[in-house]
Amino acid sequence: MLNKLKLWKNGPHSSNLRERMVQIKGQQVPSHVAIIMDGNGRWAKKRALPRIAGHHEGMKVVRKITKLASEMGIDVLTLYAFSTENWKRPKKEVDYLLKLPEEFLGTFLPELVKENVRVTMMGYEDKLPSHTLRAIQKAMDETKDNTGLILNFALNYGSRAEIVDAVKKVLNDCKNGILDENELTEETFSSYLMSANIKDPDLLIRTSGEIRLSNFMLWQLAYSEFWFTEVLWPDFEEQHFMEAIEAYQNRQRRFGGV
């Protein structure tokens, strides 16, 4: 069964899926894929489990999708792990969510190093607990020389705040003579964003049937392709990710042209 597919590097998978993978890699794959990982709580509720059980299960999906994205030759995988609005959730759930990076990276980091994956983060660090920051920093330090997939965690991230802060920095630089306001371009403005060192996403994936951006990379997603699925994140399998990539490959990206 497809939904019983093993991790690509850790077990056998069907010849059909291998062929599908070859076909995908034979065409242009998106350079940057961003994912809003939604539906962990609903997945747990359907099983009469606490919400944190859904988040724990979702962490396993992050692992296998990261490995698959790396094998596909994708350059950047950005995962919306915790938003600036998520602080409104119950404290127990927030505390657990902020322990997940430590748990995830504590077990998966050796594989990331081995598979040449580089860990990065964008978001506001000031409110994050020290144990979360330590885990992220350790992963970034140990993978900083890797040259493969960039695994970019959006952690305590909110796009509106990011844009406002970028505007403040632009105004400050103009005031101090560092930047000429008449020379401000979209490219220059992008360099003031948290994503300055990575290209804008080519493809956005959102799971769980919700069709909105939820304050995620509003500037950067202006010309991205969107792919939505009813599948809850803990149920998101390799074939779903491949389906999203195939949908992307079948679209014509005009960027406002003909």
Tell me: the pLDDT tens digits for 208-242? 999 999 999 999 999 999 999 999 999 999 999 99
Does residue 119 carry a pLDDT above 50? yes
Residues 6+ apart with CB under 8 A from 68: 8, 238, 241, 242
Under DSSP, the state recorded for 146 is -
Q: Which of 3-17, 38-52, 203-217 has the lowest mean pLDDT?
A: 3-17
> What does the pLDDT read at residue 13?
53
Spatial separation of the C-alpha atoms in residues 163 and 151, rounded to whole Å: 22
User: For residues 23 and 17, what is the distance between their CA atoms, to the nearest angstrom?
Assistant: 10
CA-based nearest residue to 63, from 119, 1, 15, 24: 119
Q: Do 65 and 109 form a contact (C-beta atoms < 8 A)?
A: no
Mean per-residue pLDDT, 97-111: 94
Predicted local confidence at residue 256, as pLDDT: 60
DSSP-derived 3-state class of residue 10: coil
Average pLDDT over residues 2-21: 56
Catalytic positions are 38, 86
Total-model pTM: 0.91
pLDDT score recorded for residue 8: 42
Q: Which residues contact 114 (CB under 8 A, 6 or more apart)?
A: none
Q: Where are the domains of the chain?
A: 29-158+199-249
- Average pLDDT estimate for 131-145: 97
- The single-letter code of the amino acid at 248 is Y
Distance CA(60)–CA(55), nearest Å, equals: 9
pLDDT in tens, 153-199: 999 999 999 999 999 999 999 999 999 999 999 999 999 999 999 99
DSSP string, 32-57: EEEEE---HHHHHHHTT--HHHHHHH
Structure confidence at residue 252 (pLDDT): 81
- What's the pLDDT band for 16 if we cut at 50, 70, 90? confident
257 pLDDT above the threshold of 60: no
> CA-to-CA distance for 205 and 47, rounded, in angstroms?
24
What is the SS3 assignment for 250? coil
Residue 258 has pLDDT above 60, yes or no: no
For 83, the token pair is 């938003």
Q: Is the pLDDT of residue 7 over 50?
A: no
pLDDT above 70 coverage of the chain, percent: 92
pLDDT for 176: 97
Q: Residue 3: is its pLDDT beyond 60?
A: no
Q: With 90 as the cut, is the pLDDT of residue 2 above it?
A: no
pLDDT digits (tens, 9 = 90+) for 63-74: 999 999 999 999
pLDDT per position as a tens digit, 196-210: 999 999 999 999 999
More confident residue, 141 or 7: 141
**Which CATH superfamily hosts domain 29-158+199-249?**
Decaprenyl diphosphate synthase-like (3.40.1180.10)
